Structures are given as C-alpha cells and as structure tokens.
Amino acid sequence: MSNEVVFIFRKKGYGFSIERVFSDIMEALSAEISRREFYCTFRSAANPLAVGWNLWTAALAQGSVNHITGDVQYLALVGSGRRTILTIHDCDHLSMLTGLKREIFFWLWWRWPVARARFVTVISEFTRRDLVRVLGRDPGNLVVIPDPVSPAFTPAPKSFPERTPRILHLGTKPNKNLSRIAAALNGIPCHLRIVGRLDETQKRALRENRVNYSAVERIDDDAMVQEYREADMVLFASTFEGFGLPIVEAQATGRPVITSSVASMPEVAGTGACLVDPFDRQSIRGGIMQVIQNADYRSSLIERGFDNVRRFERHCVARQYLNLYQTIWLENRSKERKNTKEARSGA
C-alpha cells in the first residue's frame, strides 16, 4: 500500500522505552497510515551470525517506508535507503568502545547507515550535535523530532508534605547518578522511591548516607503512571541523556522536577525544572532543598512544566514523522511514474 510504514524494532524484551514511544506514535497515526511491525530475532550485536540473520529477515520485511526505530541502526544497510528513516536516540554507546571494535561499530552502526538513510531523526538538538561530532561532519539528512509524552500522564494535583516528601528517582544505570544523589540526600528527611534494580554498591551508598528508600523494578506502564502520581517531586539528575523522557512525564503529571544542567536535559525541561550540576552533590542538594522549602518556587515549576509539555504531545510529534513519511511516499510515486514513462518510451 502507498501509505504503508514498516516499523523496525530491536528484539522484543531488550528494552521498553523505544517501544513505548513508538507505540504512542503509531496510535496517533492510526487513521493516517497502514503499518506493519518487524522485530529482530536476535539481540546480540557482537555475534556476526545474529547480525546477519537480522539483516536478512529485515530485508524481506521492507515496505514503501521503512522506519528503523532505534538501537539497530545497521539494518539501514539493507533495502532501499531512499525509503528508510533511521531514528537515533543517543551516541553514548560508541564512546565506551576502543580499537578495532570501535571502528567496526562506527562504520556499521553509524557512518554507513546514516549515509544510506533518506532521513535520520534524532530526539534532541543535543543528540544532533553529538552525532555530527561522532561523524566528523553534518550529513545533511538530520531532522530533530522529540520523544512524545504518553497521554496516560495527566495532571494529578497533590498537596506537598514539606516534612517528608516522597522523591521519585528513575533508573539505576551508571548515568542515573544514584550514588551522588544518595550523598546529596544525607540528612534530608524524605522517602526516596527508586524505579530500577539496585546493585550492592548503590545499596551501600544509600545505607551509608542513611537514606530512607524503597525500590521497585520491572513495572508496567500503568504502574509507572501511578509512581508519578504518588510522588511529591521527581529527581532526575542524570549525567547523560539523549532526551530524558521522565522530565516531561513528571511535568505532565504536575510534579516539580529537578534535573541536570548538562546534555539534553535543559533543552527538554525548558523553564519548567530546577537545573543542577549532576557532578556536584552540593548542587543537587541545593536544588532539592529549594524545591522542598519554597512553595512559590514549586508552584512556578509546575505551571511552567505544564506549558512545556505542549511541545511533546503525541499528536504534535506524530505529525512531524508523518511529514517525513509523506515526503518519501511522494518521492516513491514520482519515481514510479518516471519509470513507467521511460518503459513506455522504450517500447
């Protein structure tokens, strides 16, 4: 079909953030497009046989527009590049590699896929700049389209308990900065609610800093919405994010947000968050105390957060993707007409 889009995903169960984002986009475009979904069979990027099988099966699944949703950029090497949209969420993984392995990933995951795709979408201006830095040049096909906030996140007014607020922290990977956050919370009466699996180092940091906390992992979307509703404030002082969707989810719920002054986070937060230096525990602590102690400041963050969220409503974001799909559809039809005309002339 002329308005078909094939959404190409990594292996199921590998993660949930990309899948959740594009589930909202597909739902918003349900009346505008015909869609198919393709999921990779294998997860491993280090196994050549697994990569080869994923390439082969993705080649067989091609449609009039092929949208690679993230994490498996190398799949842009098959099929028609002129019909391919490649979404890149961040470039952090490449910085962790060295030597020959880095060179292989650079060419197969970054340079060649970006060069072949008709459009490459990035989720923030920060990621666009980072990708240009990685590539060493601007390839000219980059488009910034942010992540959408799910309509499940709606305002949930709640009185703020200044004596013992419930602070929501999302994620436990190294960039989520939990050890510094634990040190920043030392002596502050509160309950830290953590979403993610804690390792022994993080548990020790929380104990040593006498942080009252609880943790939960592997929760579904409904439970995640409820976590925001039960929180009094959201602390997202990450050291690196390609976007930082929890910022917008918290703002949509009506919670004051503390986030980092680095990477994409100021861009995403707008004026609706308290910005802190994630590498300085005193800066984090100062932001926490300002939000807890200053009711007027909290209210202003919440109001500015609601204003900021409008940029990320799913229909607004979905329309930006639809514009790219329509461009490719028009190019497809133009090429088909040209081929038909040349075939008739040759006959």
Residue 3: the pLDDT is: 86
Residues 328, 302, single domain; the answer is no
Q: Which residues contact 140 (CB under 8 A, 6 or more apart)?
A: none
- Angle at CA 219, nearest 5°, toward 86 and 313? 45
Residues 6+ apart with CB under 8 A from 205: 178, 179, 182, 183
Residues 211, 186: contact at Cβ < 8 Å?
A: yes
Examine residue 156 and state whether it is found in any structural domain, yes or no.
no
Could you say which DSSP state residue 152 is in? Answer: T
C-alpha span between 77 and 62 (Å, rounded): 12
Give CA 189 to chain center in angstroms.
32
pLDDT of residue 16: 66
Instruction: State the pLDDT at residue 44.
Output: 75
Position 106 scores a pLDDT of 94
**Domain range for 201:** 166-311
Structure letter (DSSP) for residue 5: E
Q: Is residue 153 part of a domain?
A: no
Q: What is the pLDDT along the chain (347 residues), one digit of tens a residue?
A: 478 999 999 998 766 689 999 999 999 999 999 999 999 999 877 789 999 999 999 999 999 999 999 999 999 999 999 999 999 999 888 888 889 989 999 999 999 999 999 999 999 999 999 999 999 999 999 999 999 999 999 999 999 999 999 999 999 999 999 999 999 999 999 999 999 999 999 999 999 999 999 999 989 999 999 999 999 999 999 999 999 999 999 999 999 999 999 999 999 999 999 999 999 999 999 999 999 999 999 999 999 999 999 999 999 999 999 999 999 999 988 877 777 777 777 66
Tell whether 116 and 181 lie within a shared domain.
Answer: no
- Residue 40 identity: C
Cβ(57)–Cβ(41) under 8 Å?
A: yes
Answer whether 198's CB lies under 8 Å from 179's CB: no
Domain count, the chain: 2
Question: Is 273 strand, coil or helix?
Answer: coil
Would you tell me the crossing angle of helices 221-230 and 245-253 to the nearest 10 degrees? 60
Residue 35 lies in a domain: yes
Are both 87 and 181 inside the same structural domain?
no
pLDDT computed for residue 95 by the predictor: 80
- The answer to whether 231 and 252 are in contact (CB under 8 A) is no
In 29-98, alpha helices (H): 48-60, 92-95
Name residue, tokens 């099966």: 57
> Are both 176 and 228 inside the same structural domain?
yes
Q: Kindly report the CATH number assigned to the domain that includes residue 100.
A: 3.40.50.2000
Residue 297 is predicted with a pLDDT of: 98
CB 312 within 8 A of CB 148: yes
Q: What is the pLDDT of residue 250?
A: 98
Same domain? For 84 and 116 the reply is yes
Q: 157 lies in a domain?
A: no
Q: Are residues 25 and 135 in the same domain?
A: yes
